[in-house]
């Protein structure tokens, strides 16, 4: 039977706030359903929506969370653990900046912070199982990102050692998610050690093709790198287990290109846009994912330097719904088909 992409869904991280309806699980799920979304991706670091430790230990609590969402008209698509995943691997140059993602008790203590992050992900594995989820979106963290451009020359073995360590840290997390029946889907993102297909393969090889080492496909990050985001699906469709629908545009000029000259988002050559306002070819993306029988959720991740988030969400729900392909169950020329006759086939081939 053909499989269809589910959706539209929305990642709640960019919409959470301290004012109603964005400050409670009940309120934000009602808001999402009111815009036509049928699924929500839950940021697992946001205590306004989930107690991750409790979700790991209590299926009853998870049933209550899912029940509220269902009553309001949406399903939980995945947990998002981007902030916790980031803290699994942090180069010292970013210690102070990334302390913002951690609780006060472990700030200023990289070892304790990393231990906290791993525990968060182990809880997320159990919570995902209790919620009946099969994928979780996350970041890989980064040990070698400051050495992205090889000047001065990188010491031989530096990159290899970083990826060896990254694999060592993530392998037990993958095992925990395997026990939970859930994938870890990395959003391949500049700032992470995993930011394109090559770097993803470097980790995948080191974890011996672990079945839970997967990809959260987000074409916006690939467009800004000038990577062929359509061929990427051909290469990695078997590892894509979640999908962020996010638009972007890249308009280089005589003054700036991919690196964008340290400019704010509004003035960058490469910048994120609301769905339909950028350059990503979503018709081709949805077609390719349908071709490869992707049956996960199409989840809006809204990030735009111009448009108000609520307008972006409202338009995004319609945009995704109009792009989801209902996969056909028959060939368009079936009406002209004939029954199979082995003797006829031989005659037609002169056999």
pLDDT tens readout for residues 161-210: 999 999 999 999 999 999 999 999 999 999 999 999 999 999 999 999 99
| pLDDT tens, position by position, 32-71 | 999 999 999 999 999 999 999 999 999 999 999 999 999 9
Residue 58: what pLDDT? 98
Task: Write out pLDDT tens, residues 208-256.
Answer: 999 999 999 999 999 999 999 999 999 999 999 999 999 999 999 999 9
Q: Is the pLDDT of residue 9 over 60?
A: yes
Calculate mean pLDDT across residues 100-121: 98
Residue in 222, 239, 185 with CA at minimum distance from that of residue 41? 185
Residue 331 has a pLDDT of 64
User: Over the stretch 264-311, which tens digit does the pLDDT of each residue have?
Assistant: 999 999 999 999 999 999 999 999 999 999 999 999 999 999 999 999
* Residue 42 Cα to chain centre, angstroms: 12
Residue 328: its pLDDT value, please?
72
Give the CA diameter of the chain: 80
Give the pLDDT score at 340: 75
Confidence of residue 332 (pLDDT cuts 50, 70, 90): low
- In this prediction, what percent of the chain has a pLDDT beyond 90? 92
> Does residue 93 register a pLDDT over 90?
yes
Q: pTM for this structure?
A: 0.94
Nearest to 282 by CA among 79, 11, 290, 269: 290
- pLDDT at 335 > cutoff 60: no
**Three-class SS of residue 120?**
helix
CA distance between the termini of the chain? 34
Q: Regarding the domain with residue range 6-348, which homologous superfamily does it belong to in the CATH classification?
A: Divalent-metal-dependent TIM barrel enzymes (3.20.20.150)
Separation CA 166–CA 144 (nearest Å)? 10
Please tell me what DSSP assigns to residue 190. B
- Calpha distance 20→27 (Å, rounded): 7
Q: Which residues pair with 10 in a beta bridge?
A: 40, 300
């Amino acid at each position: 039977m053909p499989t269809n992409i589910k959706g539209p869904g929305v990642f709640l991280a960019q919409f959470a706030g301290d004012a109603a309806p964005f400050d409670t699980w009940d309120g934000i799920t009602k808001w999402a359903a009111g815009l036509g979304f049928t699924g929500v991706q839950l940021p697992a670091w946001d205590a306004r929506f989930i107690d991750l430790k409790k979700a790991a230990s209590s299926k009853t609590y998870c049933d209550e969370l899912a029940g509220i969402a269902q009553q309001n008209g949406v399903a939980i698509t995945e947990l998002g653990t981007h902030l916790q995943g980031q803290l699994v691997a942090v180069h010292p140059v970013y210690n102070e900046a990334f302390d913002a993602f951690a609780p006060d008790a472990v700030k200023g203590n990289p070892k304790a912070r990393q231990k906290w992050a791993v525990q968060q992900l182990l809880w997320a594995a159990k919570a995902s199982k209790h919620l009946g989820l099969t994928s979780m979106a996350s970041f890989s963290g980064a040990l070698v990102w400051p050495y992205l451009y090889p000047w001065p020359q990188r010491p031989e073995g530096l990159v290899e050692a970083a990826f060896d360590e990254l694999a060592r840290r993530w392998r037990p997390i993958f095992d925990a998610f395997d026990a939970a029946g859930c994938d870890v889907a990395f959003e391949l993102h500049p700032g992470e050690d995993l930011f394109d297909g090559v770097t993803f393969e470097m980790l995948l090889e080191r974890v011996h093709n672990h079945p839970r080492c997967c990809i959260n496909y987000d074409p916006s990050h690939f467009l800004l790198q000038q990577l062929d985001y359509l061929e990427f699906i051909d290469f990695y469709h078997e590892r894509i287990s979640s999908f962020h629908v996010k638009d972007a545009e890249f308009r280089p000029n005589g003054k700036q290109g991919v690196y964008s000259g340290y400019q704010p988002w509004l003035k960058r050559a490469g910048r994120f846009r609301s769905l339909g306002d950028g350059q990503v070819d979503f018709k081709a993306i949805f077609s390719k994912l349908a071709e490869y029988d992707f049956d996960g959720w199409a989840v809006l991740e809204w990030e735009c330097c111009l448009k108000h988030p609520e307008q972006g969400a409202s338009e995004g729900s319609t945009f995704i719904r109009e792009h989801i392909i209902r996969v056909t169950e028959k060939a368009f020329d079936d009406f002209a088909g004939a029954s199979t006759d082995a003797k006829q086939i031989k005659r037609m081939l002169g056999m």
